[in-house]
Amino acid sequence: MNSYQGFKEKIFKLTAIDLSLYKEKQMKRRIDSLIKRYGASSYSEFLVLLESDKAIYDTFINHLTINVSEFYRNIVQWDVLKEEILPLLLAGKSSIKVWSAACSTGEEPYTLVMNLSRYMPLQNIQILATDIDKEAISKASKGIYSQKSIENVPSDFLDAYFLKQGDNYSIDQSIKRCVTFKQMNLLRDQYPTDFDLIVCRNVMIYFTEDAKRDMYRKFNESLVKDGILFVGSSEQIISPRTFNFKVLRTFFYQKIQ
Ligand SMILES: C[S@@+](CC[C@H](N)C(=O)[O-])C[C@H]1O[C@@H](n2cnc3c(N)ncnc32)[C@H](O)[C@@H]1O
């Protein structure tokens, strides 16, 4: 088994991650560089390492999934969410159902909590946050962050909800309580339903066009009537009407049926 095709099939059996739904050039480049780092000379040799060494397996999953995140990533869009989208969603409601899909190490769902807390008490906020990567989710539940990742957090939130611990900051229990983390593969698992807002940012960029189209349909089904999908900065949907969405603001799509 020395072809990338064969490797993808074995990886699917081993990890349930279907690499053929990720953009091939980019993914292959990442995998090849990791294989080189471990000194393996072929895909089969690397597979033996993956199957026998848990640390290498974890590094591989981590390498595949690309966990980079930060609080208030692309801050202008979070302002749009706070000033325009949340008031629209909250009209006539005291709380909303929110899903952070591909939440990585938690910066995104915790940013959502802080934004929602401008409109309602923390006790009313409950966010579902999912990611394929168990390790990322475990980090998210711990809620410890570097100085770099909290750079965009507004100072009133920093003072209220972050405690400095050495070089890092730990996020307050009152914020953590608002988020439920679960492992979920967006390319395989059944999508949860009835959300007013779904945030899925900086992950679709790694997927093939077919995989993305399938996800747009599923996100549409997961939203309530007039619900909104918030995507990442380079993830605008081409012809959103095909998927029963209309553009509300750049990067925000509203379900039209
Ligand atoms: C670059 S991070 C984005 C994090 C956050 N949404 C943000 O914008 O800062 C991409 C995340 O997508 C997750 N991911 C990759 N493939 C996935 C899949 N098939 N299902 C669910 N999550 C996936 C990775 O584990 C990673 O945490």
The string of pLDDT tens digits covering residues 160-172 is: 999 999 999 999 9
C-alpha of residue 112 to centroid of ligand 1, in Å? 16
pLDDT bucket at 52, cuts 50 / 70 / 90: very high
Identify the residue whose C-alpha is closest to ligand 1 atom 7: 69
C-alpha of residue 185 to centroid of ligand 1, in Å? 9
pLDDT at 55 over 60: yes
**Ligand 1 atom nearest to 17, measured from its CA:** 19
pTM (two decimals): 0.95
% residues pLDDT > 70 (the chain): 99
Q: What is the mean pLDDT of residues 4-31?
A: 93
Instruction: Note whether 132 and 17 are within 8 A (CB).
Output: yes
Q: What is the mean pLDDT of residues 6-32?
A: 93
Give the span between the Cα atoms of 127 and 256, in whole angstroms. Answer: 23
Residue 2 has what pLDDT? 64
End-to-end CA distance of the chain: 47
Q: What average pLDDT does the structure give for the chain?
A: 95
- Choose among 196, 162, 240: nearest CA to 88: 196
- Choose among 222, 218, 216, 223: nearest CA to 242: 216
Identify the residue whose C-alpha is closest to ligand 1 atom 9: 69
- Choose among 177, 171, 173, 147: nearest CA to 159: 171
Q: What is the mean pLDDT of residues 20-38?
A: 93
Pocket (CB within 6 angstroms of ligand 1):
65-69, 73, 102-104, 107-108, 131-133, 136, 185-187, 201-203, 232
Give the span between the Cα atoms of 157 and 121, in whole angstroms. Answer: 14
User: Crossing angle for the helix pair 24-37 and 4-15, nearest 10 degrees?
Assistant: 80
Residue 94 has what pLDDT? 86
Residue 65 has what pLDDT? 84
- Choose among 148, 69, 150: nearest CA to 104: 69
C-alpha of residue 92 to centroid of ligand 1, in Å? 32
Residue 239 has what pLDDT? 94
C-alpha of residue 183 to centroid of ligand 1, in Å? 11
pLDDT at 1 over 60: no
Which two three-digit tokens encode residue 45? Answer: 């040799």
Which two three-digit tokens encode residue 39? Answer: 């000194």
Residue 257 has what pLDDT? 75
pLDDT, tens only, 61-117: 888 888 899 999 999 999 999 999 999 999 988 889 999 999 999 999 999 999 999
- Choose among 145, 208, 152, 215: nearest CA to 176: 145
List the single range of 81-85, 132-136, 200-204 with lowest mean pLDDT: 132-136
Give the span between the Cα atoms of 156 and 51, in whole angstroms. Answer: 47
Which two three-digit tokens encode residue 15? Answer: 């990890």
> At CA 248, angle to CA 244 and CA 253, rounded to 5?
45
Q: CA torsion sign, 21 to 25 to 27 to 28?
A: positive
List the single range of 14-18, 70-74, 144-148, 223-227 with lowest mean pLDDT: 14-18
Residue 205 has what pLDDT? 94
Q: What is the mean pLDDT of residues 119-134?
A: 96
Which two three-digit tokens encode residue 4? Answer: 């990338």
